Chain A
């Protein structure tokens, strides 16, 4: 407003309207902060409660009135939790699944998206609409036939049903990467082509390096997705040595429901890798969500 005009003398007294305006802005900002702080605390409370319970000895868990900061700290809960279930085995299974599912998603979708964005061919747009349409098919429709298919292949109780399909593209990721690759300048391809680069060379030397932000976004989404995945392992992994943390933790809950200290310690150990990961990848993460939201 006029108070911000560069020609105005620095210490000019504000007019009444200007004072009112500034006051209103100030009140608005204070009110916004107040509401955000209240909701922010409410949003973090579950996590705080998880951590707090994870450090309480069992006698304090069932203490009334509730206490957010533990009276006595019992960090042994974390060690006990890793002994109560084959924690390290489950952790390794979750990690294994995440690593290979992510490799598959990154490789296949970069490759496929290139075919849908940088190479021109007859029928491309029609086929791309089919790709988008497959997103509408609920998981539940494919679940039963795929279960039977993988059972016949002898793949139950292995990670193959969870990992192998990732090497053949995912509609959402293809869409995301294609949108990104469409924005890369085409002149680069033409210049490379004049210099005699093959289609493969253009893909590998131009599209892949320039698509790093999109590749990173796909990797981040897939890491979160597989780490969280519950229904996939629930359907395909029935043998206790193959359980991921998702399944193992739930099983532990159904068997020892009242051991909240240990359960919350295990839940915290399951969550913390994602938190650390988020702080490293925060920017690409937010940008990725914004990208998908806007182009959707």
Chain B
């Protein structure tokens, strides 16, 4: 798009002269309205609300200055607990899902037979509605009668309490999230398939080992997909809500109280809308900062073919 502008050969004159300037705005008009009503307005309203205490009965915000932010950083233990939990959740999920998804995609890229069947299987969890999947997992991880501990019993292992224990609940959620990360497998698979096989053949002739080929060819050429998946995974996992809210509700003992769950509870259980708005703004700044950081550190390392 940007290149086209500087390259007069690819830009027919008609593009510049024949168009009425209004047509572009005509087509994007719905977006402009939606942008103002559903993004710009809530964005600033949320900032304003974060400096107020909100009375949900008669919808009147009362200005309290920095009170919410002061309370958040100094008094509220749940704020720090939820930040810690969310960072732990996002970081562990990022590592686990990235390694697992690349591994599965690599196996699928080896020209295996029945590729479409395997691909469907690993993608399948994405199709199961989050509520249906969460309820099924609660039942699977039932300490006494669930499938998981039932299978562990068969090989003589006494399984833990999974979602019901503060020691294992977080790891259970991460495990379940990896199960549901089939979208990334498809993206990685397309990345593997885009790597020209001549490169491997050339490396074979030069006598490169499997590990060398992986480090020098596969990994560099997979960076666009890794970059995309890492960015989306971080943004989404920091906002994770539904699965956790359904399966643990943040418990036991706040061990899985993720940031978004805490925020929802504050807004819609306690109806502390002003306070929750302050929480939302901190979340926004956190995600913004993290995304910019990733872009700064990773985008320079992404290698695009051609």
Contacts and interface: CB of A to CB of B under 8 A. Distances in A.
B is bound to A: yes
Interface of A: 28-29, 32-33, 35-36, 39-40, 43-47, 49-50, 53, 61-66, 68, 108, 111-112, 114-116, 119-122, 124-125, 127-128, 130-131, 134, 136-149, 151-152, 165, 167-169, 174, 182, 186, 190, 193, 199, 203, 224, 227-228, 230-231, 235, 245-247, 249-250, 253, 260, 263-264, 267-268, 270-271, 274-275, 278, 282, 286, 289-290, 293-294, 296
Interface stretch (B70-78, B91-99, B129-137, B164-172): B129-137
Interface of B: 1-2, 5, 12, 14-16, 18-21, 23-28, 30-31, 33-35, 37-39, 41-43, 45-46, 49, 59, 104, 107-108, 110-113, 118-133, 135-140, 144-147, 150-151, 153-154, 179, 183, 186-187, 190-191, 194, 224-225, 227-229, 231-232, 235, 238-239, 241-242, 245-246, 260, 263-264, 267-268, 273, 276-277, 279-281, 283-284, 287-288, 291
Nearest to B35: A134
Given A137-B39, A142-B38, A267 B112 contact: no
Given A50-B132, A112-B28, A115-B27, A145 B287 contact: no
Nearest to A121: B24
A175 to B, nearest CB: 12
Given A32-B110, A40-B121, A43-B121, A168 B232 contact: no
Given A121-B19, A267-B136, A116 B42 contact: no
A193 B18 contact: yes
Contact of A165 (B27, B34, B132): B34
Contacts of B35: 130-131, 134, 168-169
A290 B110 contact: no
Given A43-B122, A136-B291, A112 B31 contact: yes
B228 A142 contact: no
Nearest to B136: A50
A137 B43 contact: yes
A45 to B, nearest CB: 7
Contacts of A131: 31, 35
Contacts of A68: 147
A32 B241 CA distance: 35
Nearest to B112: A32
Given A136-B288, A140-B239, 4 more contacts: A140-B264, A144-B42, A231-B241, A275-B127
Nearest to A283: B116
B30 A108 contact: yes
17 contacts: A29-B110, A36-B108, A39-B122, A46-B133, A46-B137, A49-B147, A61-B145, A64-B153, A66-B147, A108-B30, A119-B24, A120-B19, A136-B288, A142-B46, A230-B245, A278-B127, A293-B191
Contacts of B140: 45-46, 49
B38 A165 contact: yes
A193 B281 CA distance: 48
A290 B185 CA distance: 10
A263 to B, nearest CB: 6
A66 B194 CA distance: 44
Most buried by B among A108, A143, A231: A143
B242 A65 contact: no
Given A46-B140, A66-B145, A140 B273 contact: no
Given A111-B27, A193-B18, A35 B107 contact: yes
Nearest to B260: A140
B128 A62 contact: no
A293 B229 contact: yes
A144 B129 contact: no
A66 B145 CA distance: 7
A249 B132 CA distance: 8
Contact of A144 (B46, B104, B107): B46
A128 B129 CA distance: 32
A140 B14 contact: no
Given A50-B132, A136-B235, A141 B224 contact: no
A282 B123 CA distance: 11
Contacts of B191: 293-294
A247 B135 CA distance: 12
A231 B145 contact: no
Contacts of A139: 239
A267 B132 contact: yes
B199 to A, nearest CB: 16
Contact of A143 (B107, B280, B291): B280
